[in-house]
Amino acid sequence: MQNKSLVCFAGNDWWLHNPLTEKQWTRYLARQGWTVLFVNSIGVGFPGTSSPFMLKRLFRKIRSILRYWLRKSEGVWVMTPVLLPLWSVGWVRRLNVRLITMQVRYAMKRAGMQPGVFWAGLPTAALLRKTIPHRHCVYYVQDDYPSYSSFDHQMFMRGNDDHEEMLRASDVVICASIGLKERESKIARRVEYIPQGVNPVFLNASLERSEYLPEKLQGLSRPIIGYWGSIESLHDRDLIYALATSHPEWSFVFFGRKMVDVSQIEALPNVHYPGFLPIEEIPLYGVHFDVGIISFKQTDYTMYGCPIKYREYLALGLPVVAPHIIEVERAYEGEGLTSRNPEEFAERIQEAMDTDSEERRRHRRLLVQEETWDASSDRVRAVLDSLEKEDA
């Protein structure tokens, strides 16, 4: 009989984030009879005492611990472990391993779990691999972790070592993108490519444009070049400024919370940041875009990524233009136009508009129609089942 127990050291927090990949997958496994312990993120970075993020992260963790140290939600046991977010300090790192190990072992006992699958959703979990009892080890690589050190070497000083350890030690490495799969296959003995699923609000939305533009698009001239998602540090403001000034006849619209200063480009008459949209409303606006863009900076981090909005754009039938991202270039032959500079980006936008049609939009929807969260979760379950069969 299969031992359906899984301890998931997640790359995000159950209580603080939208239902991202690991939350979707573990909820599904719980419905299929698995006993799951979801350990909220213990941190990817290793900040020292000088880190500007230390106090913010500490406050957030303390609040989460006080409210949700161990609680069951949607069939999943969820834990926010007590720890000190000072991973760059040797003795603190060792103390954290002991603290987290004791808490996770207690939670496993309370949940009635036997040693099963150790799931690492971030490289930091390598520190716990030898202290948490398990029979199989799975490493979920959803980002280009080695590139983190280029953001802040001190903060991510151990990331590369932990990442390589997990690649070598894991029975299976699950990668979110084609680029990550190809790269990690050079080290890991078994690699599976399982991208994120697409939210049903996009797959079930009508592709027909209403006669009138929704409120926040009214008054904008066409074509409308659009984006949705958080406006964070990866948002390429130089690119948008260059595109908007060279093509004043195009309207650029960015839906999402502004987490960086965009005042310079927002001052341009054809650039608009209307703010956050609930996910249920995005399709009502998105179908009116002429092109969906991924306005990320060109970096190794973005090149190897798997932007979930790529498939969301396709689900709404939109042509997509992005920087050089392997997933966009290769996931669906003939779809996804990429560029390496603002001039090329503008050319690809024009090409996307010139070749678009209602037929092409229906075809794009069909490309991702079956890429639901349940389908993605089924593939994860099949991987886990295969590990048990190897033991039989």
**Which residue, among 35, 4, 217, 7, has the nearest Cα to 132 in the 3D structure?**
7
Do 277 and 386 share a domain, yes or no?
no
Q: How confident is the model at residue 389 (pLDDT cuts 50, 70, 90)?
A: confident
State if pTM tops 0.85.
Answer: yes
If you write DSSP's letter for every residue of 314-379 in order, what string do you get? HHTT--EEEES-HHHHHSSTT--EEESSHHHHHHHHHHHHHH--HHHHHHHHHHHTT-BHHHHHHH
pLDDT over 80 at 185, yes or no: yes
> Do residues 99 and 168 share a domain?
yes
Is 55 in the same domain as 193? yes
Question: 221 lies in which domain range?
Answer: 200-368
Residue 230's CATH number: 3.40.50.2000
User: In this structure, are 185 and 207 located in the same domain?
Assistant: no
Q: Residues 85, 177: one domain?
A: yes
Are 83 and 193 members of one domain? yes
Lowest mean pLDDT among 5-9, 44-48, 78-82, 203-207: 44-48
Q: What percent of the chain has pLDDT over 90?
A: 77
* Burial zone of 153 (CB within 10 Å; 0-12 exposed, 13-18 middle, 19+ buried): exposed
Same domain, 123 and 255: no
Residues 377, 360 share a domain: no
Total domains in the chain come to: 2
For residue 85, pLDDT beyond 80: no
- If asked whether residues 362 and 381 sit together in one domain, one would say no
Same domain for 380 and 276?
no
Query: At residue 373, does pLDDT exceed 60?
Result: yes
Mean pLDDT of the chain: 90
Q: Are 192 and 213 in a shared domain? A: no
Q: Are 225 and 289 in contact (CB under 8 A)?
A: yes
3 touches 135 (CB < 8 A) = yes
| Co-location of 182 and 215 in the same domain | no
